[in-house]
Homo-oligomer: A and B are copies of this chain.
Amino acid sequence: MSPLPSGLLGDLDPTSDRAVFRQIADQLREAIDRGRFREGEKLPSEADLVDHFGVSRMTVRNAFSILQGEGLVHAEHGRGVFVRPRPPVRRLASDRFARRHREQGKSAFIVEADAAGSHPTVDSLEVKEEKASQDISTRLGSVRRVLARRRRYLLDGRPVEFATSYLPLDIARGTPIAEPNPGPGGIYARLEELGHHLDHFEEEIRARMPSPAEVKTLHLAAGVPVIHLIRTAFDTGGRAVEVCDTVMAADAYVLSYQLPAT
């Protein structure tokens, strides 16, 4: 219960219209922005702040809850509240599905993570046939049932992405694509071997807060949104041959695209 170092945080302004817990949140936010507290560093405990500001504990907790919602800090039960470190991000370039990257033998995720010096893992593999949702059916051109390939990607043990690929049964059934491990180069390599020469991809990107299930699967901290990416692969005949639905921890990714100016 050592008192706060004086000067670290200021006083409240009783004349202000701003609610006390917001003022406290503002002070902490500013201290973090100014680098007074570094990444991973422990903030003053709730009890410290109760003493320093002379408010009740709920008020302090309200302040912390604001900062958590902003993704600035995270609380650890029994330890304290910490400045949330910015994890290393994974950059996705727009040429990541270029044919030349498929010749290697490993999946794009593994190759890329190895190059970045991280330790990649893939788990939660599930491959099965199922009924297509309305949305997937529309994107694939009115198919009823699809082959679904689900998997989760981890970097250095941290889950960062959860993806499901959907393929029409007439394309995928009975091929290596329906196997848990589709072989070198991934399913895009298999699709081309099967005569579905890929022409282009379309990607749709949204960002939103995660559902409770996504929080669990991706071990998301409070205040971390997800990037929801839906990619459709088209063959040279203009047919949609695959839809991949991906949910990514937003703090782990930067997406990068090149657009022609023509």
Contact = CB atoms under 8 A, between A and B. Distances in A.
Interface string A211-227: 11000000000111111
Nearest to A71: B209
A148 to B, nearest CB: 21
A65 interface: yes
B259 A203 contact: yes
A207 B229 CA distance: 12
Contact of A207 (B58, B95, B225): B225
Nearest to A22: B212
A97 B206 contact: no
Interface stretch (A43-51, A122-130, A177-185, A247-255): A247-255
A202 interface: yes
A119 interface: no
B255 A201 contact: no
A260 interface: yes
Contacts of A99: 261-262
Contact of A222 (B29, B69, B222, B256): B69
Interface string A1-40: 0000000000000000000000000100100000000000
Nearest to A188: B261
A258 interface: yes
Residue of A95, A211, A212, A258 most packed against chain B (CB within 10 A): A258
Interface residues of A, number: 46
A206 to B, nearest CB: 6
A42 B140 CA distance: 37
B69 A205 contact: no
Given A200-B258, A201-B259, A207-B250, 12 more contacts: A69-B69, A98-B260, A98-B262, A99-B262, A202-B257, A202-B258, A203-B259, A204-B256, A205-B256, A206-B250, A207-B227, A209-B224
29 contacts: A58-B58, A69-B69, A69-B223, A70-B211, A70-B212, A94-B257, A94-B259, A98-B260, A98-B261, A98-B262, A99-B261, A202-B259, A204-B256, A205-B205, A205-B227, A205-B254, A205-B255, A205-B257, A206-B250, A206-B254, A206-B255, A207-B207, A207-B225, A207-B226, A207-B227, A208-B225, A225-B225, A225-B250, A257-B259
